[in-house]
């Protein structure tokens, strides 16, 4: 990294640095979290997979909505980004009924204010994707809110722009991934506003950490679906008897290798680019 960068914050698996008044650096580590706990064992190249996928989607969706990407660095894990005023709401788009959406549906018949038809099964595809915003709560856990509340928090015009962009991005990503055997069940986008007042896609986009990726070939509604990328690590953690509190268990080498292979496979399927080629020349994913 260049001189005079200022560390601004840490996410569970990423770091944020200030470069100058206009630019930030988002660096993706190889850390992995399961059951909301960061494990002590990194997955080699996971950060490069996620950064490459984000850059791929930013390049291919710039006509849907402007985004914050300035440059993909040669380390293949860092993105130079425009500094924005972030909207304080995460835009979750759900095309399938999973996770907290499925939970809410089973208890209320609705998801974040969206009344859904009766009789849907776990992991079922929705007839239309829905936007279910969330705010970052103090606990670090996200708090689901309805769209009216999100519009009040963001301002009506900004919310509407972010909402339309999120739906268009999801539809684009879901269709692209489906052609390559990956179901994007849901995904989270974050938006900011630039100095001109334009709503801009920020953060990461359509990665395994911001989305639920399922293998299409084993998809079967009516039960929980395996995660395309994290299932090896999750299954091993479950079988280890770990109680899912800090600290997480160290992963054995074969689980690390299997998990890495699934991340690389997701990258190669979605980008149609060999991961080795990406490491040699990261800009290949920018098309």
CB of 139 to ligand PZK, least distance (A): 16
CA gap 171, 165 in Å, rounded:
10
Helix%, strand%, coil% for the chain, nearest 5: 35, 25, 40
How long is the chain? 287
Query: First and final CA of the chain: distance in angstroms?
Result: 25
CB of 223 to ligand PZK, least distance (A): 33
Per CB under 6 A, does 14 bind ligand PZK?
Answer: yes
Indicate which single residue of 46, 48, 68, 262 sits in contact with ligand PZK (rule: CB under 6 A): 68
Per CB under 6 A, does 81 bind ligand PZK?
Answer: yes
Nearer to ligand PZK, 87 or 126 (CB): 87
CB of 266 to ligand PZK, least distance (A): 20
CA dihedral angle for residue 203, residue 205, residue 208, residue 210, rounded to 10 degrees: 50
Indicate which single residue of 53, 91, 161, 202 sits in contact with ligand PZK (rule: CB under 6 A): 202
Per CB under 6 A, does 77 bind ligand PZK?
Answer: no
Per CB under 6 A, does 86 bind ligand PZK?
Answer: yes
Per CB under 6 A, does 48 bind ligand PZK?
Answer: no
Q: Which stretches of the chain bind ligand PZK, using CB under 6 A?
A: 9-11, 14-16, 24, 26, 68, 81-84, 86, 192, 202-203
């Amino acid at each position: 990294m260049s001189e005079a960068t200022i560390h601004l914050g840490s996410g569970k698996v990423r770091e944020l640095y200030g470069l100058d008044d206009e630019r930030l650096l988002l660096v993706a580590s190889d850390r992995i979290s399961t059951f909301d706990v960061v494990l002590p064992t990194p997955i080699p190249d996971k950060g490069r997979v996620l950064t490459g996928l984000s850059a791929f989607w930013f390049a291919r969706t710039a006509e849907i909505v402007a985004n914050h990407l300035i440059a993909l660095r040669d380390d293949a894990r860092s993105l130079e980004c425009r500094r924005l005023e972030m909207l304080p709401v995460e835009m979750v788009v759900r095309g399938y009924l999973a996770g907290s959406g499925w939970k809410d549906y089973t208890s209320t018949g609705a998801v974040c204010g969206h009344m859904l038809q009766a009789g849907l099964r776990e992991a079922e595809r929705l007839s239309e994707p829905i936007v279910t915003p969330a705010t970052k709560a103090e606990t670090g856990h996200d708090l689901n809110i309805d769209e009216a509340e999100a519009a009040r928090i963001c301002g009506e015009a900004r919310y509407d722009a972010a909402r339309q962009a999120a739906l268009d991005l999801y539809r684009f990503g879901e269709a692209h991934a489906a052609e390559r055997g990956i179901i994007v069940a849901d995904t989270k986008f974050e938006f900011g506003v630039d100095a001109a007042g334009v709503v801009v896609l920020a953060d990461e986009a359509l990665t395994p950490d911001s989305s639920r990726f399922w293998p299409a070939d084993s998809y079967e509604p009516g039960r929980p679906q395996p995660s395309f990328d994290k299932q090896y690590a999750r299954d091993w953690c479950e079988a280890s008897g770990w109680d899912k509190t800090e600290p997480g268990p160290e992963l054995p080498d074969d689980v690390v290798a299997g998990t890495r292979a699934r991340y690389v496979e997701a990258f190669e399927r979605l980008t149609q680019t060999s991961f080795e080629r990406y490491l040699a020349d990261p800009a290949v994913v920018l098309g």
